[in-house]
Amino acid sequence: GAVVSQHPSWVICKSGTSVKIECRSLDFQATTMFWYRQFPKQSLMLMATSNEGSKATYEQGVEKDKFLINHASLTLSTLTVTSAHPEDSSFYICSVSLPGSGNTIYFGEGSWLTVV
Amino acid sequence: KQEVTQIPAALSVPEGENLVLNCSFTDSAIYNLQWFRQDPGKGLTSLLLIQSSQREQTSGRLNASLDKSSGRSTLYIAASQPGDSATYLCALTGANSKLTFGKGITLSVRP
């Protein structure tokens, strides 16, 4: 069964609005979750590392004030795209490393964001 | 900085053919390497995980190899089926569980 659940799978929003994407670990606690973004025909790129109870660590070039990450519990991390613009339209996906699995990374289903 | 290359970007084969997907990387200091499958509009599914100390892993019709000295990994698919059509990505885990992905190879298996 699924190890990581991500919601919503698809979202369309208007320019200027904010969108929240949730990533939940199922049946286990995840102190660290990762957020990736994938533009069409491009590689998945790490955006930030979400740490439970502390501030997220952002990769170079990722605006922390635009992509707000909250990891308030051991099973939930949220990514909020603030003041979305059409160029933010992308595939966003979260992942966690399952403890005791040899560092196997499990991914959520991903969220397709379209900003119109 | 780790760079992962997957060539070609797309591949089309007839059903039943055995095929090899290639992945090359520049930094051999890796923790592990994984092959993923991504169907259109869907999330990623982990296919095989090879630890840094291992040479290969097998699951059903899939076999993945790892040669750190040459910076290469291959995913072998035996007796390909139309249901194998998807994008296959390789990704390497470096420090702090961060992955570096290739751009993927889009495979089409023709009936």
A72-110 pLDDT tens trace: 888 999 999 999 999 999 999 999 876 666 566 788 888
pLDDT for res A103: 62
Residue B43: which of A32, A93, A103 has the nearest Cβ? A93
pLDDT by residue for chain B (111 residues), tens only, comes to 889 999 999 999 999 999 999 999 998 888 889 999 988 767 788 899 898 999 999 999 999 999 999 999 999 999 999 999 999 999 998 766 677 889 999 999 999
pLDDT for res A77: 93
Does A60 contact chain B (CB < 8 Å)? Answer: no
User: Which residue carries 């290739």 as its tokens?
Assistant: B102
**Integer Cα distance of A25 and A2 in angstroms:** 9
In angstroms, the Cα distances linking A42 to A38, B5, B14 are 6, 12, 26
DSSP of B70-99 = TTEEEEEESS--GGG-EEEEEEEE-GGG-E
Best residue in A35, A103, A106, A113 for a mutation probing chain B (most B CBs within 10 Å): A103
pLDDT for res A52: 84
pLDDT for res A102: 59
Does A58 contact chain B (CB < 8 Å)? Answer: no
As a whole number of Å, the end-to-end CA separation of chain A is 34
Best residue in B99, B100, B103, B106 for a mutation probing chain A (most A CBs within 10 Å): B99
By C-alpha distance, which of B73, B51, B75 is closest to B63?
B75
Query: Which residue is closest to A109 within chain B, CA to CA?
Result: B43
By C-alpha distance, which of B86, B43, B96, B16 is closest to A5?
B43
Chain B: nearest CA to A32, how far in angstroms? 9
